Chain A
């Protein structure tokens, strides 16, 4: 997948350099779509999903005016 992303990016660059902007930009957006798919696949965990449970926050104790 990573190879496909870089291949389409390189093709987009070469097409742009050769003056074929009409085809270069769609090629770039194909590589962008592949990149987003791979990014989502990389960060997805079968256990946690897209969550990051190691990031913990504590609920601060409420001060008097807001308590109760």
Chain B
């Protein structure tokens, strides 16, 4: 009986780890796409866009922590930052929903949907994903997901990549905003 329980726990642990890895990979792809749009297509992020990126990084932090922990504190952190992302993106959508003087351009669109609206979808997907994971594996896990060698290596690689793009974003914020307010139209340090 204890052998069956051990197999069930191990399987749940591996599936939970794969679930977390898929979510982390999805967020890494979103952040990379945002950076490609910024550097290749000249879409300089507005302050609220930068705060949304920050919230996504916070979710990544929680997922990375959850992958290495047998408690659910990482999921809690991800939930907090998902709600933050939802609040910021909903507010920005409401700010941009009516064209006003000084707010005519609200950024590019992907598949006809603007970035803040995509952020709302991402926040909702995160909340649903975290809820589904807790429902399926919340009570079964008694070991950290990184017990599996493949998951451990993948989680480590993804964590290093997320830290790398976080440092690139930090440098980008310094170039764009300095230590003051953020410019929407130009990089502050590149202005002559």
Contact of A17 with B54 at beta-carbon distance under 8 Å, contacts A2-B173, A3-B179, A6-B170 already known: no
Let me know if B84 is at the binding interface, CB within 8 A.
yes
Complex CA–CA separation, A25 to B160 (angstroms): 17
B58 and A28 within 8 A (CB)? yes
List 30 A-B pairs, Cβ < 8 Å: A2-B50, A2-B177, A2-B182, A5-B51, A6-B166, A6-B169, A6-B173, A9-B54, A9-B57, A9-B61, A9-B166, A10-B167, A14-B163, A16-B61, A16-B64, A17-B159, A25-B73, A28-B58, A28-B61, A31-B58, A32-B84, A35-B51, A36-B84, A39-B51, A42-B51, A43-B91, A52-B94, A52-B95, A55-B94, A55-B97
Complex CA–CA separation, A6 to B54 (angstroms): 7
Chain B residue at minimum C-beta to C-beta distance from A9:
B57
Contact of A3 with B177 at beta-carbon distance under 8 Å, contacts A9-B166, A13-B162, A32-B84 already known: yes
CB-defined contacts of B160 to chain A, threshold 8 Å: 17
Let me know if B178 is at the binding interface, CB within 8 A.
yes
Chain B: interface size category = 35 or more
Point out residues on B near A: beta carbons under 8 Å. Answer: 47-48, 50-51, 54-55, 57-58, 61, 64-65, 73, 77, 80-81, 84, 87-88, 91, 94-95, 97-98, 100, 159-160, 162-163, 166-167, 169-170, 173-174, 177-179, 181-182
Q: Determine chain A's interface SS by DSSP, over half rule.
A: helix
Point out residues on A near B: beta carbons under 8 Å. Answer: 1-7, 9-10, 12-14, 16-17, 21, 24-25, 28, 31-32, 35-36, 38-39, 42-43, 52, 54-55
CB-defined contacts of A42 to chain B, threshold 8 Å: 47-48, 51
Chain B residue at minimum C-beta to C-beta distance from A43:
B91
Complex CA–CA separation, A27 to B73 (angstroms): 15
Chain A residue at minimum C-beta to C-beta distance from B55:
A35
CB-defined contacts of B177 to chain A, threshold 8 Å: 2-3
* Apart from the given pairs A2-B173, A4-B179, A25-B65, 13 other A-B contacts in the complex at a CB distance below 8 Å: A1-B179, A3-B179, A5-B54, A6-B166, A6-B170, A7-B170, A10-B166, A16-B65, A17-B159, A35-B55, A42-B48, A55-B94, A55-B98
Q: Which 10 A-B pairs have the closest CB atoms?
A: A6-B170, A54-B98, A13-B163, A2-B177, A6-B173, A10-B170, A3-B179, A42-B47, A2-B173, A10-B166
